[in-house]
Structure 1
């Protein structure tokens, strides 16, 4: 059986799924070319790693399709000096993509097994600028705040107040928010002089934002 050339798979993914659909931020495209997505999916699904759809990773969670990962990354307008918070680590793939661009990523996962496996995976791949914590993402990570950018990868009924307070002035947040008609829209919030500017980016489908009342 022929050896898969993963670098070629990534290049094709970037050209056919990202650039062809309007992703044009050079840093985002370069990061998507570098991160080995096949190391973040279950081995049984490895041949589908670079296909343009979400994949199950266990615990009723998914790894988002490459286009959504790139779209959300590009939407945050990331800079190389940024300190970034992610809510919903999942497999760790989105954190790895951002870690290729920014100075530091702090990511929180509410499912303990996923948090542990993501940490091990990111450590093995030497993403030393990523810190993983098991916990309730609603509260953010106040010890590492303020953040230049915050990414939420689960559909929320409303934007958590602690996340707004942990966003720097001039900071950006991308979050899927449910509307009253049952849809979910990806919105971008920009903090300016303590106020939030809201922009609706696209309709999306995400696993729901879950809360946990236990202590972590």
Structure 2
């Protein structure tokens, strides 16, 4: 998976490649879809949610520029796979999930891989997590019509936010970096994610 789907498509960060090799993706996917766990595709995880294809997980992680001292916020825990990858690279991960049953499955999955530096919060991810802010990085794993202002406000100076921004059907992968009250933006191609539901996202 790492050699053919990730390295071959240009991911170079050695920490990201190592994390992708270490975390067993099949543990984060329920049957019967787990039989395709290492395919280059998103897969259902139940409750209308999906796990992103491995390349997209690696790309978004690399774009975050994670370091071992970072505190990172993830919006949309899903099965916990992205948080497990981040847990290998940063000091702490806080991941927010709005569907309680999905959050519980993520807790179980993360415990199975001993990701002890991940905290799962049940709630509206578009609000961020003010008690733990500011964050060195924020990673949004669902499609948002625009980057929620609370998330921008919770970025530290020089912090980076990675998010799919656009319509419900197609988005651009956007990276913003904070410099004071200014946010430098870059685009990294088209992607497709499930909608980000919440006060600053899409309606249910």
Which 4+ stretches in 1 moved above 2 angstroms? none
Shift of 1:183: 3.4
Aligned to 1:70: 58
Q: 1:207 to 1:179 in 2, by over 3 A?
A: closer
Could you tell me which residue of structure 2 aligns to residue 201 of structure 1?
188
2:178 maps to what in 1? 191
The partner residue of 2:87 within 76, 81, 99 is 99
Whether the 8 Å contact between 1:179 and 1:185 is mirrored in structure 2 is no
| Alignment gaps of 5+ in structure 2 | none
Residue 41 (str. 1) matches residue 41 (str. 2): no
Superimposed CA distance per residue, residues 48-101 of structure 1 (whole angstroms, 9 cap, x where no aligned partner): 101100000011100000000000000111111100000000000000001010
- Cα distance in structure 2, aligned partners of 1:121 and 1:30: 19
For residues 155-206 of structure 1, what are the alpha-carbon distances to aligned partners after superposition, in whole Å with 9 as ceiling and x for unaligned? Answer: 00111111011000100000111169x6310100000122100001110000
Q: Name the TM-score, length of structure 1 as normaliser.
A: 0.90
CA distance in 2, matches of 1:43, 1:96: 20
Which of structures 1 and 2 has the bigger CA Rg?
A: 1
- With structure 2 as the length reference, what TM-score do the two structures score? 0.95
Can you give the 5+ residue segments of structure 1 that lack an aligned partner in the other structure?
Answer: 1-12
Tell me, yes or no, if structure 1 residue 114 matches structure 2 residue 102.
yes
Q: What count of residue pairs does the alignment treat as equivalent?
A: 200
Structure 1 vs Structure 2 CA RMSD: 1.5
